[in-house]
Amino acid sequence: MPDTEAAGVPDRDLLAEVFTPSGTNAAEAIVDLLDRVVHRGAVVTGDVVISLAGIDLVRLDLRLLLLGLEGTPG
Amino acid sequence: MSTGNWLCAYAITRNRPSTWDVGPAPRLIGYRDLGVVVSEVAPARFDRIDTLDPVDGTLAELAREHDAVVRAVFRSEPVLPLRFGTVLDGEDAARRLLAAGYDQARDCLEEVAGHREWGIRIRHVEPAATTRPDAAGLTGTQYLVRRRERLKAIQRAREDVTGAADRLEEALRKQAADSVERARPHGVLVNTAYLVETSREAEFHAEVEWFARELRAAGATVETSGPWPPYSFTDVKLGAAADA
């Protein structure tokens, strides 16, 4: 998966701090991060928040992609 | 859509003079004893977000920025992380959000204060039951016996792994304040996030280590991730109506 490898390069230090290396590779580390940051966290509703065009689509795409990616061995 | 003053919001925390260092950009907008961590953001940064490949680096980069801010605050203060992509319509909107969601946000922040999130994943990939033993030099009966032994071994390993996994989960639930099951792709038996009080982390990890040995012996792997800010334990909706 060359894409995820490229994405893992710039912030290797941050990831190294965050993840206990017990078999977790860089791609899975990003999966864990994206899943939490993009799918979790408190949700703000109402007129105070500006809705970003396309963000719901991103969440949906990501969910499907993460399930596939995580299941890939190695 | 507004084109004015966009504020990217990262987390709700205590309204205290900032002891956290997140560089010059992010700042705190306060209301009573709560504050929301925000930074100015150019609308263009979120342009065409739906066309970004989630892991091609661009979305991952935005998500890492978000996480870095949340984490920097989390080092010294409890945080209630906000979902990525929360953009507020200016400072007044940020204050109205805190005012309208005050009780909920405060309760949730109290609950997660003094805790950190840990992820536990147990992976177990079984050999395919359809693979056949090498039939060379075997009689028909020997072949069938060998094949049945093989299927039995797969079944036994499965029972060993699920048994140990159940015991691990039970032990961890006793150490944790809360737990949330996360999506389980193929080959992942357990994928759970635990909210653990910092004073109980040593015991929590001791339990993980203990059962990990048993699980490894049975052919499974145990992965730990963390510590995380309590992303998976902030299941609240904070709303603010137009006339709030």
Give the whole-angstrom CA distance, residue A29 versus residue B109: 26
pLDDT above 70 covers a percentage of chain B that reads 90
Structure tokens, A18: 């965050």
How confident is the model at residue B52, as a pLDDT?
63
Q: Does the beta-carbon distance from B238 to A40 stay under 8 Å?
A: no
Is 0.95 surpassed by the pTM of this model? no
Q: Which of B236, B233, B229 is nearest to B116 (CA)?
A: B229
What does the angle CA B29 – CA B110 – CA B170 come to, to the nearest 5 degrees? 135
| B191 vs A31, residue with greater confidence | B191
Test B240 with A29 for CB contact under 8 angstroms.
no
- Amino acid identity of residue B76, one-letter, is S
Smallest Cα distance from B243 to chain A, Å: 9
* Per-residue pLDDT, A24: 54
Measured distance CA(B193)–CA(B179) in Å, rounded: 6
> Cα distance from A60 to chain B (closest Cα, Å)?
10
How many whole angstroms separate alpha carbon B234 and alpha carbon B230?
Answer: 7
Three-state DSSP string of A16-72: HHHCCCCCCCHHHHHHHHHHHHHHCCEEEEECCEECCCCHHHHHHHHHHHHHHHHHC
Mean pLDDT of B195-213: 97
When mean pLDDT is compared across B119-133, B182-196, B209-223, the lowest value belongs to B119-133
Q: Does A25 touch chain B (CB under 8 A)?
A: no
Query: How much is the pLDDT for B104?
Result: 96
Q: Provide the mean pLDDT of chain B.
A: 89
Q: What is the per-residue pLDDT for B11?
A: 97
Interchain CB contact of A6 with B (< 8 Å): yes
pLDDT at B51: 66
- The percent of residues in chain B predicted with pLDDT above 90, rounded, is 67
pLDDT tens by residue, B114-149: 999 999 999 998 877 677 777 788 898 999 999 899
